[in-house]
Structure 1
Amino acid sequence: MRDDRRGTSRSVRREERLRRRTRNRRRVLVGAGLVVALVATLAVATALHLDGNIGRVDIASGSEDRPEDIDHDLNILVIGSDTREGIGTDEYGTYTEDGANSDTNLLVHISADRESAYVISIPRDSMTMAPSDCADPSSTVVSGEMRQWNANFNQGGPACVVKTLEGLTGVFVDHVAVIDFSGFQSMVDGLGGVDVCLPRPVHDPDAQIDLPAGEQRLDGHDALGYVRMRKTLGNGSDLERIERQQAFMSSMAQEATRTSLLLRPDRLYSFLDAATKSMTADEDLGLKKMLSIARSVKDLGMDELTFITVPTEPYVADPNRVQWDQPAADALWAAVRDDTVLPGQEKQGGQTEPELTVAPSEISVKVRNDTRSAGLAAQEAVSLDAQGFRASVVNAPPTGQTAGVTVTHAVGEAAAARTVAAAYDGARLKVDEELPVRTVQVSLGLGAPNAEEVPNREGDAPLPEARVHAPPAPTQIETRTADQDICG
C-alpha cells in the first residue's frame, strides 16, 4: 500500500513539473513574441521618425522635359546650404539676408556595378550659363544668362540647381539632399568627431576656430569652421578650400568604415537622426532608399571612392571668379553620363571582356570626326573596312569638345556595338533610339586612339598605317581617393 502511495506521489509530481514547464515555455514564447513585436514597433517608429525629420522639395519644378529615372548608375546631388538656422548664431561668416546660397555642391556618382563612386565638387564661384527664370519651363540654359553657380540655389532652390546642372552637362540627377550648417555639425558629432591634419596652427575669428598644427580630432563645431575657412589657410581661394573639404570627406569615410557605422545600430541611429533633422530631399529619397543605397555600396573600398573638382580656368571678366575649362570639364561629364572610368584612368584589372557575337560584315559603321584633325574619320573608316565592317564617313562640323571614342547604337544592338568598340580601347557605349538596326556610329573625340584589330575580324588584309591622330585629351582632371593619408 505504501509503495502504491509513493508511486502515485511521484506521478503527481512529474505531472506538476510538466505543467510548470509548459507554463514557463508559454511565458517564454509570449515574452519572445512581445520582444519581437516591440523591436518591430520600435524599428517602424524609428523609421517614421527619421523620415519625418526630412524636409521635402520638388526637384522637377520648372522642368518640362526632364528625363525619366534610370535603372542602374546613380547620381545624387548634395548641396550644402549656408543658412545659419539651427546653430543659434551668425558666425562662420556674414549672414546672407537675401536668403541662403549653396555653399558646397557635390555630385555623387555611383557606378551601376557598385564598384566605384565619384564625388565631384562644383566650385561655388564658377560662372556658367543658367536659366534666366528657373520656374519657367521654357527658360533653359541655352537661352539663359551667365550666373555665379551658388546663386542658382538662392534664385530657385534645389530645383534650379538641378535644372542648371542637367542643362549644362546632360547628366541626369536622380536625387537631391540639402544639408545646412547645423546638420553638418551634428553629423560630425554623430561620428564621434573626425580627424584632420593642419600644416600649421590656425587662428580664424571668422570661422570661430583656434587650432594647433598637426593631426587632431575635431568636433562638429570646429569641423564646420575648418571646412569653411578661406583666408587663414592657403591662398584664400575657393578651389583650395575644396581640396581641404575633399580631404575632410575622405576622413569622414575612413571614420565611418573604421567604426563599422552600418553595423552599430546605436551609432547609426545617432548619425541618421542628426543628418535627417537638417536635411531637405526630393520626395523619393527617404530613409528606406538611403539605407538601400548604403547597403548597395557596403563592399566599396576606400580606394574606389574618388574625389574630383570640375576643371576650371580664370574667368576673364572677373579675376575673383572661375569658369569651367572646356573640354576638360566635358570629358569629366561624359564619364559620368556614360558611367565609365575618368579621363586618363584605366579600368581595374581582372574584368572579363564580353564575347563578340556579331560579325563585322553584319554591321554598318558611320564614322564621325569630332576633332579638328582633318582626315581622321576617312582613315578610320578604311581601317574598319579592312576588317570586314561596312564603314562610311559622317560629314558633320567638329565641336572639338568631346573626348575618347563613343560608340552609339540602336536599342537592342549592344552586341553589334561591342564588336565595333573592340577596335577602340576605352570606347564608351551609348544608346540612340533613332539609329536603324545593325547601324553603329563611331564618334572620335580628343585623345581617341586609332583602330586596332578586333578579335573576330574578317579577312587578312593589313590595317593601313595611321598617319592622322586625334589631338590629346585634356589631363587637367586631378583626383584623390578616400584611402589617402589625411596628412598626405
Structure 2
Amino acid sequence: MSGGLIDEQPATGDKPPRRPYLRWPFIVIIVGLALPAAIYAKLTSNVRHIEVTREDLGDARPAKAPTAALNILVVGSDQRDDKYAGKRADIIMLVHMSPTRNEAAVISFPRDSLVELPACRSRERRPGQQRRIGMINSSFSSGGIGCTWKTVETLTGIHIDHFVTVDFIGFKGMVDAIGGVNLCIPEPIRDEYVQLDLPTGWQTLLGEQALGYVRTRHSIGDRSDIGRIQRQQDFVAAMAKKTLSSWTLINPVRLFGFLNTATKSITADPGLTLGVMLDLALTTRRLSSDKVHFVITPWRYSTTYPGRVEWLQGPAKKLFRLIAADKPLTGTKIRPSSPEAPPATAPCPPVNSVL
C-alpha cells in the first residue's frame, strides 16, 4: 500500500521503491493541462448569451451569401444588464470577414442616422418598436439587441450571423488591462460632458480617458457624430493592434487580465462562443492594415432635421450589396464619409514605439 506520495519500505526481494520525484513531472503535466482548461471554463462562464429568435427577426430575412463569410453586429452600450430601458446604443458597427479570413470590412452606422425603422416585438421589459422614421440607435432601447439586429438587416439587406454587445464599464477595464492605448490627439480636447481634458500629440489613454475619447463630440473637429465615428475607428484599430501584439500575448498574467475583463463585459448569441471569438481574434492578428477597411455608411446632413444625418441611398446601397454578396471593397469607390467631414487625425511627431 502507498500512503500519499511516500511508499512503504518493500519486503525483502521486492522491487526497489519508486522515487517520489519521478512522479512530479507527471503531476506538472496534469496540472499544466488542467489549468488552461480551468481558465477557459472561467472565461466561458463570464460571457453572457442571449438568443435572438425567429420571432425577433421575422421570416423575411436577407439571404446569406453562399460562402463562409461572417457578418457580426457589434453594439456598444453604457450598461450590460437589462436596466438600460430608455438608453440608446452609442456605437453600431457591422464587421464583415471574408471566407478565408484574409480581409475584413468594418461598417459604422452613425447613431444620428434618420432611417425607416421596422416594427419589432417587445422583449425584456422594453416597449417594442413601431414602424416609423427615427434614429437608428433607438432600436436598442425599444426592443433590445434583437430589434437592433432586425433594423440593421432590414436597412442593409445584409444577413447577420452573430452579434456582440460591449458595455462601456468593461471597455474601460479592457483598456486598463493592456496598459492603455497610445493615440495621436490632433487638437486639444476639453469636454466637460465626458470629463475629458487632453493636450495635442501622442497620448497614452487609460480607461476613463479612452471612454471619454470614443464618446466625445462637443469639443473637437466639427462636433458631429461623423467625427466621433472616425475617432472610434482609429481607437479600435490602435487598441486591437496592442491587444494582439506580443507585448500582450506573451505575458500570461496580462493576457488573462484582459480576457477576464473582456469576457465579463460582453454579451453574445449562443453561436458566438469564446472559442469562435478567440479564433477570429487570432485570425485578425494576421491581417495587414491594408486588408482591413473601415467605412462609414455614406451620408449627408439632413436638411429637414438639423443635427441629424441621412444616408446617400445610391452609394449606401452599393456598399451594402457588396457586403451582402461577399464582394471585396478593394478598388471600389465607396465614399467613406462626407467631404464636409474633417480628417479624424493629424500627423504627430514620431515616437520610438507606438503599440
TM-score interval for Structure 1 and Structure 2 normalised by the shorter chain: 0.7 to 0.9
- In structure 1, how many angstroms separate the alpha carbons of the residues matched to 2:191 and 2:226? 19
Are residues 1:246 and 2:105 paired?
A: no
Alpha-carbon shift at residue 486 of structure 1 (Å): 7.7
Are residues 1:62 and 2:76 paired?
A: no
Are residues 1:477 and 2:336 paired?
A: yes
Change in Cα spacing, 1:225 to 1:84, as seen in structure 2 (3 Å) is farther
2:80/2:266 contact within 8 Å kept: no
Amino acid at match of 2:40: A
- In structure 2, how many angstroms separate the alpha carbons of the residues matched to 1:153 and 1:263? 38
- In structure 1, how many angstroms separate the alpha carbons of the residues matched to 2:109 and 2:89? 10
Amino acid at match of 1:48: A
- Structure 1 stretches of 5 or more lacking a match? 1-17, 86-95, 346-473
Partner of 1:269: 256
Matches within 5 A, 1:110-259: 110-135=97-122, 144-259=131-246
The answer to which structure, 1 or 2, has the higher relative contact order (CA under 8 A, 6+ apart) is 2
Are residues 1:48 and 2:41 paired?
A: yes
Alpha-carbon shift at residue 159 of structure 1 (Å): 0.6
Amino acid at match of 1:267: R
- In structure 1, how many angstroms separate the alpha carbons of the residues matched to 2:197 and 2:244? 28
Question: Which 4+ stretches in 1 moved above 4 angstroms?
Answer: 66-71
Are residues 1:106 and 2:93 paired?
A: yes
Deviates more, 1:148-157 or 1:66-75: 66-75
- In structure 1, how many angstroms separate the alpha carbons of the residues matched to 2:32 and 2:150? 42
Render the CA deviation track for 1:409-460: whole Å, top value 9, x for unaligned.
Answer: xxxxxxxxxxxxxxxxxxxxxxxxxxxxxxxxxxxxxxxxxxxxxxxxxxxx
Taking structure 1 as the reference length, the TM-score comes to 0.60
Name the count of aligned residue pairs: 321
- In structure 2, how many angstroms separate the alpha carbons of the residues matched to 1:319 and 1:50? 45
Taking structure 2 as the reference length, the TM-score comes to 0.82
Partner secondary structure for residue 308 of structure 1: strand
Alpha-carbon shift at residue 181 of structure 1 (Å): 1.1
Amino acid at match of 1:219: L
Amino acid at match of 1:266: V
Are residues 1:331 and 2:318 paired?
A: yes
Matches within 5 A, 1:299-310: 299-310=286-297
- In structure 2, how many angstroms separate the alpha carbons of the residues matched to 1:319 and 1:167? 25
Partner of 2:74: 78
Alpha-carbon shift at residue 341 of structure 1 (Å): 1.9
- In structure 1, how many angstroms separate the alpha carbons of the residues matched to 2:121 and 2:110? 20
Render the CA deviation track for 1:226-265: whole Å, top value 9, x for unaligned.
Answer: 1111111112110011111111112112323443544443
- In structure 2, how many angstroms separate the alpha carbons of the residues matched to 1:149 and 1:44? 41
2:56/2:146 contact within 8 Å kept: yes
Partner of 2:285: 298
Change in Cα spacing, 1:309 to 1:43, as seen in structure 2 (3 Å) is same
2:186/2:345 contact within 8 Å kept: no
1:177/1:282 contact within 8 Å kept: yes
- In structure 2, how many angstroms separate the alpha carbons of the residues matched to 1:131 and 1:31? 63
- In structure 1, how many angstroms separate the alpha carbons of the residues matched to 2:86 and 2:264? 20
Partner secondary structure for residue 165 of structure 1: helix
- In structure 2, how many angstroms separate the alpha carbons of the residues matched to 1:326 and 1:68? 22
1:169/1:330 contact within 8 Å kept: yes
Alpha-carbon shift at residue 272 of structure 1 (Å): 1.2
Partner secondary structure for residue 327 of structure 1: helix
1:114/1:296 contact within 8 Å kept: yes
Matches within 5 A, 1:312-461: 312-342=299-329, 344-345=331-332
- RMSD value, Cα: 2.9
Alpha-carbon shift at residue 81 of structure 1 (Å): 0.4
- In structure 1, how many angstroms separate the alpha carbons of the residues matched to 2:241 and 2:133? 38
Change in Cα spacing, 1:291 to 1:98, as seen in structure 2 (3 Å) is closer
Alpha-carbon shift at residue 33 of structure 1 (Å): 2.2
Partner secondary structure for residue 94 of structure 2: strand
Alpha-carbon shift at residue 132 of structure 1 (Å): 2.5
1:331/1:343 contact within 8 Å kept: no
2:65/2:326 contact within 8 Å kept: no
2:84/2:141 contact within 8 Å kept: no
Change in Cα spacing, 1:320 to 1:253, as seen in structure 2 (3 Å) is same
- Higher-Rg structure is 1
Partner of 1:359: none
- Structure 2 stretches of 5 or more lacking a match? 1-14, 124-128, 339-343, 349-355
Q: In percent, how many aligned pairs have the same letter?
A: 37
